[in-house]
Structure 1
Amino acid sequence: MLNALTRSHKIEHMAKTEYDLLIIGGGITGAGIALDASMRGLNVALVEMQDFSEGTSSRSTKLIHGGLRYLKQLQVGVVKETGRERAIVYENGPHVTTPEWMLLPFHKGGTFGEFTTSLGLKVYDSLAVVDKNERRHMLSKKEVLNKVPHIKKTGLKGGGYYVEYKTDDSRLTIEVMKKAATYGADLVNYLKADGFIYQDGQVCGVTATDTLSKENYTIHAKTVVNAAGPWVDDIRNINGESTQDKKHLIHTKGVHIVFKQEDFPLTQAVYFDTENDGRMIFAIPRQGKTYVGTTDTFYTEDKVTPIANKEDKDYLVNAINYMFPSLQISSDMIESSWAGIRPLIQAAKSKNASAISRKDEIWHSDSGLITIAGGKLTGYRHMAEEIIDVVSDVLKRKYKMTIKKVSTKDETISGGDVGGSVGYTNYAEQVSRKAPSYGLTIEEGHMLALKYGSNAEDVYQYAGISNDNHKKYDLPKSLYAEVIYSVLHEMVVKPTDFLVRRSGKLYFAIEEVEKYRRGIERLLADTLTWTDEEYTQYIEEVDQAIKDTQK
């Protein structure tokens, strides 16, 4: 259990334990590695210098991509792998992954034509072994306009209709973390690995600082994996590795902007090309909003808090107005935004953009540090399997350990025990009928069941035992229960942890943030016994987070 109330005790326990594996990085890659390793019987620890998923893993396009665009680059193997991994992610966590029919319009002179769209989608269906109910359809011009009335009519010839998978990237990450914890993994946020310890020249652990208490710790491990995302090279440099003469990371920034539905009335997700550079952009309806992204520009600034600047927003607004000219979208209509950093791999000393890879790679240092870099959200499970195979070989060779060979392919993540993708809807309907016995409405219960899956009844319980305590904080009972659950099961220690990552409200329900943030802040302060200094700091962090989404 990821309990914030016992977080400091967990760290003290970690400092007294020698682990088989220590993971640096609490994004989706680190979470996947922790789950795979703990399922194989390894004693696992994970440290994250920020909150879980605070980096790239909460700032994506929030899609489990099937790899369609790689067909254009003739990367058949990538399409095959990502398409199949996409189905596994969905089946193991249907409460955080949802099929989303995507419209790919084609216009005269555009990136895609009718023949290439039809052929490409057909090949994709075959390679990705797409379920027959989700295989592509071709739409006429009239059918496209029926689905998206505001789309550019000039030159419109028709469209392809296929399925992508929408996800909550940050909740996917935390659910994988929680599942790893059930197998015994020790996972802690706000614990920064800032140095290595060595024995006979080999890495045997890290020094770490609790960024909340400022206490220093040493954590020992037989093997250490660097899965720090955009900070991978920083960790390699701490280990004394020169990244100048080797493959290294290069960062690009992806920006997304969010609109109210009344400003951008979209009920059908669209994947469309831009006017000048031929890039493809997503416009996706979500929770009563429409969000659009993404950009892809080289980035060398602050990795902790990237923001969408005016140039980023103007690029996306221009793309929208090119494809949806009648809407006359302006930057003033943007309600919120987020920016994420892609850690891509560049060959040593190469300045050629074609040498930048989006695939994952595993690197070994002379000191024994194992690094995994690159990759996509969709492939997190397969990436984890690959690197734990490597870790297992090291443990077998150096320590004569016997490692179980198991697979996460059929392992549901936390909250995923809902009868698979087929049973998920029925599960949500059935469990929501219990909500009134906990003081919740059926509608509130249904919302919580859809979000938390098979963990919903745990959330209900915190509503049930609240009595009228939620009124003290001017919070709806359901929201009160979510906050308490997030503290006791998802290691929320700051209001931004909940408002940005566990709930996503900062991006898709900014009005709720403004309405309820003070109550949430007071509830967390009382539950976690913040000091006055912490209270001031954490409130300022919420203020800054709101400003960053609205700059």
Structure 2
Amino acid sequence: SPDNMGLLDPATSDGRVIFFLPWEKMTIAGTTDSPTDVTSHPIPTEEDINFILSEVRNYLGADVEVRRGDVLAAWSGIRPLVTDPSSKDTQSISRNHVVNISDSGLITIAGGKWTTYRAMARDTIDAAVQEHNLKADSCRTMGLQLEGAQDWSPTLYIRLVQDYGLESEVAQHLASTYGDKAFEVAKIAQVTGKRWPIVGKRLVSEFPYIEAEVVYGVKEYARTAVDMISRRTRLAFLNVQAAEEALPRIVDIMGKELNWCEQKKKEELEIAKKFLYYEMGYKVKTDQLTDRSEISLVPSDIERYKKRFRMFDKDKKGFITILDVQRVLESISVQIAENTLHEILNEVDLNKNGQVELNEFLQLMSAIQKGHVSGSRLAVLMKSAEEKLRRRAAIPVDRSGGGL
């Protein structure tokens, strides 16, 4: 969606509200609202995801195709609705907040949402002033600035670029996220070792989050990797796969700042991975390969993909391992960190046996063609390697610069 425009429709096919809005350079779409069992770890369902996609398609032109594979993250939450104890109708449930004053004078506020926090604060303090005859001036919450707003301006990011040598995209992100506190983040940003940008190592290449934000987050009392990927940054909400890629580095930085032992780092990594898998849509994303991705390729495509697979499976084992991938990458002078390669293969390794079998690879390519899966790093890597090997083989001997 455009950066400054969104859409909300309260009259969908079944009466639920649908919206898609620009958020953090991505598009957020929702929403569903249905009864559920109470759990500490709510999981998005494929049914809800498909409902949202189906409704969104009604508002888009024929030239825009929204596929299931375009969903980069999905989440759900449980919204507790409060019953007003002072209401005559004991069945009435409020979707807003309720301020309750007990017989002892204890003031309690319940319900509400993040977007109405100023109104909640005002109503709570007003109740306290009235109930306990406190001396007070008029409410000031509407005029109070948030932390970082005092010296913020729309052009603040330019100073970050000029004074610290940050990328423009990173500087804009820091300025909009931290306000004038962005300078505190910039001061602790690591030197990149490149000509440009001078400082600001990204956690993942396609998002403007930098390593210094992890250090700053710890100073602001972040104590878990889940907190860092979901709240201090928004990676988990924007792209669950990118969040998983960033996790090892995030845990390393937090471990150094908080003096974690290796066991603690391992625990944090596992907890965060489970959070991504169940609560942020990684499970329903990978289920697309197993539940709905029977191989439906035409014979010519099957043969083409088999040929690509055999370029990696030189020993004709029927599967490829990380060693097979490394061998091909070395032959075309491409270097990828071993832990990254493990992650790439693990995305497709449905059997979780440390190898990708031919059938798994064909399932992947079939799912990509049907739009159930997008952004597979293994598929992109193998296609790129095949093209480079073909170009190399096509160079005539008399133009190769070698031979006698």
TM-score (norm 2): 0.58
Q: 1:443 to 1:323 in 2, by over 3 A?
A: closer
1:370 aligns with 2:107: yes
The answer to whether the 8 A contact 2:160-2:186 is kept is no
Once the two structures are superposed, the pairs formed by residues 87-486 of structure 1 within 5 Å of their partners are: 101-102=4-5, 269-273=6-10, 275-302=12-39, 304-324=40-60, 326=62, 327=64, 329-346=66-83, 355-392=92-129, 407-418=140-151, 424-436=153-165, 440-463=166-189, 479-486=210-217
1:276 partner amino acid: S
The answer to whether the 8 A contact 1:432-1:442 is kept is yes
CA distance in 2, matches of 1:347, 1:383: 15
The number of equivalent residue pairs is 271
Q: 1:474 to 1:377 in 2, by over 3 A?
A: closer
CA distance in 2, matches of 1:506, 1:514: 8
CA distance in 2, matches of 1:472, 1:358: 43
The answer to whether the 8 A contact 2:99-2:110 is kept is yes
CA distance in 1, matches of 2:232, 2:255: 17
* CA positional deviation for 1:319: 1.2
TM-superposition CA deviations, 1:79-105 (whole Å, max 9, x none): xxxxxxxxxxxxxxxxxxxx9754xxx
Q: 1:537 to 1:473 in 2, by over 3 A?
A: farther
CA distance in 2, matches of 1:492, 1:281: 33
CA distance in 2, matches of 1:426, 1:472: 22
The answer to whether the 8 A contact 2:84-2:98 is kept is no
Structure number having the greater helix percentage: 2
* CA positional deviation for 1:416: 1.0
CA distance in 2, matches of 1:497, 1:425: 28
* CA positional deviation for 1:475: 7.9
CA distance in 1, matches of 2:201, 2:18: 45
Structure with max Cα Rg? 2
The answer to whether the 8 A contact 1:449-1:456 is kept is yes
CA distance in 1, matches of 2:81, 2:105: 23
1:445 partner amino acid: A
**Which residue pairs with 1:547 in the alignment?**
277
* CA positional deviation for 1:464: 6.0
TM-superposition CA deviations, 1:2-47 (whole Å, max 9, x none): xxxxxxxxxxxxxxxxxxxxxxxxxxxxxxxxxxxxxxxxxxxxxx
Q: 1:442 to 1:273 in 2, by over 3 A?
A: closer
1:429 partner amino acid: I
Q: CA RMSD, aligned part only? A: 3.5
1:283 partner amino acid: F
1:539 partner amino acid: L
Q: 1:101 to 1:481 in 2, by over 3 A?
A: closer
Q: 1:332 to 1:350 in 2, by over 3 A?
A: farther
Q: 1:350 to 1:339 in 2, by over 3 A?
A: farther
* CA positional deviation for 1:286: 3.1
1:315 partner amino acid: F
CA distance in 2, matches of 1:282, 1:473: 31
2:125 partner amino acid: I
* Larger relative contact order (CA 8 Å, sep ≥ 6): 1
Structure number having the greater strand percentage: 1
Unaligned runs of 5+ residues in structure 1 are: 1-98, 103-268
TM-superposition CA deviations, 1:137-164 (whole Å, max 9, x none): xxxxxxxxxxxxxxxxxxxxxxxxxxxx
* CA positional deviation for 1:539: 1.1
Instruction: Specify the SS of the correspondent of 2:112.
Output: coil
Task: Report sequence identity in percent.
Answer: 27
CA distance in 1, matches of 2:124, 2:203: 47
TM-superposition CA deviations, 1:429-455 (whole Å, max 9, x none): 33432122xxx3454333322221110
The answer to whether the 8 A contact 2:247-2:269 is kept is no
The answer to whether the 8 A contact 2:203-2:209 is kept is no
